[in-house]
Amino acid sequence: MTARGARCLGLLLALLAVRAFAVDIDGKLDADEWREARHITDFRKTLPLNGEPATLATEAWVLATPEGLAVAFRNFQPPSVPRTQQRVQRDFKDLVDRIDLMIDFDGDHRTGYNFKVSSTAGVYDAVVTNESEFNPDWDGNWRHAVGSDAESWTVELLIPWHIAPMRQNAGDVRTIGIYLDRIVANTGERVSWPLASWERPRFLSDFAPIEVASYKQSLLAVTPYVSSLYDVLGSDSQFNGGADLFWKPNGQLQLSATVNPDFGQVEADELVVNFDATETFISDKRPFFTENQGIFEFTTPSDFSQLLYTRRIGAPADDGRGAGDITGALKLNGSVGATKYGVFAADEAHEAGRTFGALRLVRDFKEQNLGLLATRVERPYLDRTASVVGLDHNWRPTARWNVRTRLMGSEIEQSGESTQGDGATVWADYEMDHGWRQQWIGMHFSNDLQINDAGYLSRNSTNYAHWQLNRRFTNLPAESRYMSKDWRWRVSTDYNDYGQLLNHQFRISRESRLRDGSYEYGQVNINSAGVDDLLTRGNGVVNLPPNFNSYFEFERPRQGNWAYHLELEFQSGGLAGNDKVGYSVNLEPTYFINDALNVYLGLYASRTPDWLVWQRDNLIGSFDGEETHFSAGFNWVMTNRHELRLKLQAVAVNADIRQGYRVDPSGNALPTDEVVNDFSVRNLGLQVRYRFEIAPLSYLYVVYGRGGYEEEAVSDGRGRLLRNTFDLRDDDQLLVKLSYRFES
């Protein structure tokens, strides 16, 4: 053979080799494309969680290619089992026919990535941390396609290797963790491979380890944006521009940066009227702060707690003059051997601007991992510097046990004075036989622990412990309307760091799944007498009598043209204890005009007959409180790239004073003749948003928003107050934003 012939033959063989690994993501399962893939057929029921073979057959194929991990599903579903045709928004929660692919790229049980595709090609993506906590705020760039025939529907996915940080791999083979599942909307049945469930103490740790060919992939993505904001009230326009940059030369180094980011409201937060001493947690959808954020996850059993809460960045400025103006932020993720690291920095402009920094280190071992997270915030306007260090340890000694431990400390330097605090938590889950399991949680947060400069903690000064016993029932009779029931019994105790009892509590709850896909949850809490040490904002505790609260939730997914969500609650409390019982009811029906367009209407009404609201120093008021919410809107998913939605929320709070009280040093509330006024609050939020996906992660937004807030020292009728809410017009704006992602 001549040299030229040899070169031609080599080129031909190379092309054939590439073709052998190439997969055309078109939703059509070509046997030749998938002939080298791992073929999976042993899908087992995880809803109900009994491990029985799937009612409808499901097949999957997994193949590593140079472009990414390719996965295909064939979901058998004959005409006798109707398929959903409903279109869904990105990160949907609707019960529709769908599949899930979850990948732990390092196989170390620390971070997973969830990719969901519906039968109508709708997508959902999320980051999975702490074994079973899903955060859908992250959006990734990955490929998918859906196909169907009379007997089945199919999905093909391609997940690029650069989508997540990965440790350096020696050799030609990489071990990853993988989980596949499928939901049949008509029956609510979920089947998976391997047999794993987030209803168990371990989920990420139960992913199936598989060996795939090891590939390297780089990415450079720049997403510039331009935006224009027109203020209708002020007849004023503002123009802005900036860019996000993501550079991933390999799996071991990934850099994210943003310059002059625009956080104009293209997402509408839920309206909240909060008179409590604890802060409301709000999730973060901003792309820079969600990309590669999983490594910075540091949570405790306290609800929503975390050491790095990115909504602090760009939050209301320390001088109270609007939101902080972010000039830039930087994030670096990487790994050296079995050690992962993350570096985060952000800076706000002007004299009230803050500077944020964080360092994360994680070391993984066979059955455990150990991590460190340190944060620092400089707040010159307040002459304050906050430093926090946390250590986290996750231990999985056997398939039955999962133990999570956290240690943390804070040091606050303000106006020349130093304050130090500490905290520790342990969370242990034990899976027994026959559906039984146990859970132990212990938490200690000292009086001086302060992590909220960069993080989120609803309260410090607590010493909490609980023991919980669970029993899951999955093999229910075929004639039962229930598919599964999960009963839980819990006893807990909570003291503040001064040794004062907050309460003892007994809780019983049941979570149920119905055979039509509906969801049901009920809970009753019986609380002992105790003290409220937050109500007076540091001016003494308030003694409270025993009380109770009960809660019921029912969600029925779409059946025909209707779906609805119902919540009911009855509770006692305040100084009256069980002598006065309040209630709340929340009903939101949704009507589907067709598979692309639905409209909804929601009404929430509550009454709290002994609502305690702080006034000043040790003065509190007991009010007869009423709260009413009205919500309405529509979602029109014209195509998977075109979407129009309307979201309207109106909140009215009315409070009639019953009695004012002064709290004495012993915590007793003593009636006083001091004047405490009635009050009312009105809050309105309206958003009309059009979104067009020009290309992956490239969008055109046109958003109209209007809102207002008003608080008055008078009360009014519930209906009239709610009607008057629609007159509010503090803000009236039109925003146009264009962003385009350039990749190479």
How many angstroms separate the CA atoms of 56 and 190, rounded? 10
Give the torsion through C-alpha atoms of 196, 198, 202, 207, to 10 deg: 40
DSSP string, 95-143: --SEEEEEEETTSSSSEEEEEEEETTS-EEEEEEETTTEEETT-----E
Task: Please report which confidence band the pLDDT of residue 263 belongs to, taking 50, 70 and 90 as the band edges.
Answer: low
Longest dimension (CA), the chain: 108
* pLDDT for res 20: 42
Instruction: Decide the pairing of beta strands 501-514 and 152-159.
Output: unpaired
Is residue 164 a contact partner of residue 127, using CB atoms and an 8 Å limit?
no
* pLDDT for res 282: 84
Evaluate the CA torsion angle 510, 600, 594, 122 in order and state its sign: negative
Residue 199's Cα: distance from chain center in Å?
17
How many angstroms separate the CA atoms of 432 and 429, rounded? 10
| First vs last C-alpha separation in the chain | 39
Task: Please report which confidence band the pLDDT of residue 265 belongs to, taking 50, 70 and 90 as the band edges.
Answer: low
| Domain residue spans of the chain | 18-219, 227-242+549-664+676-744
* pLDDT for res 262: 66
- For residue 241, which of 742, 741, 739 has the smallest C-alpha distance? 739
* pLDDT for res 165: 86
* pLDDT for res 10: 39
640 contact partners, CB below 8 Å, separation of at least 6: 87, 120, 121, 122, 123, 693
Query: Which residue type is seen at 126?
Result: A
Is residue 167 a contact partner of residue 48, using CB atoms and an 8 Å limit?
no
Q: Which residues of 488-512 are buried (b: 16+ CB within 10 A; e: fewer)?
A: bebebbbbbbeeeebbbbebebebb
* pLDDT for res 388: 98
Q: How confident is the model over 545-602, as pLDDT tens digits?
A: 999 999 999 999 999 999 999 999 999 999 999 999 999 999 999 999 999 999 999 9
Three-state SS at 17: helix
- Looking at residues 424-452, what average pLDDT do you find? 96
How many angstroms separate the CA atoms of 49 and 52, rounded? 8
Q: How confident is the model over 401-419, as pLDDT tens digits?
A: 999 999 999 999 999 999 9
Q: How confident is the model over 193-252, as pLDDT tens digits?
A: 999 999 888 899 999 999 999 998 999 999 999 999 999 998 999 898 999 999 999 878
Using the predicted structure, report yes or no on whether residue 12 has a pLDDT greater than 50.
Answer: no
* pLDDT for res 636: 97
How many angstroms separate the CA atoms of 330 and 310, rounded? 13
Is residue 693 a contact partner of residue 687, using CB atoms and an 8 Å limit?
no
* pLDDT for res 22: 74
* pLDDT for res 264: 55
**Percentage of residues of the chain with pLDDT beyond 70:** 97
- Looking at residues 153-161, what average pLDDT do you find? 97
- Specify the DSSP class assigned to residue 316: B
pTM given for the model: 0.89
Name which residue leads in pLDDT, 525 or 1.
525
18-219 carries CATH number 2.60.40.1190: yes
- Looking at residues 343-372, what average pLDDT do you find? 93
* pLDDT for res 8: 45
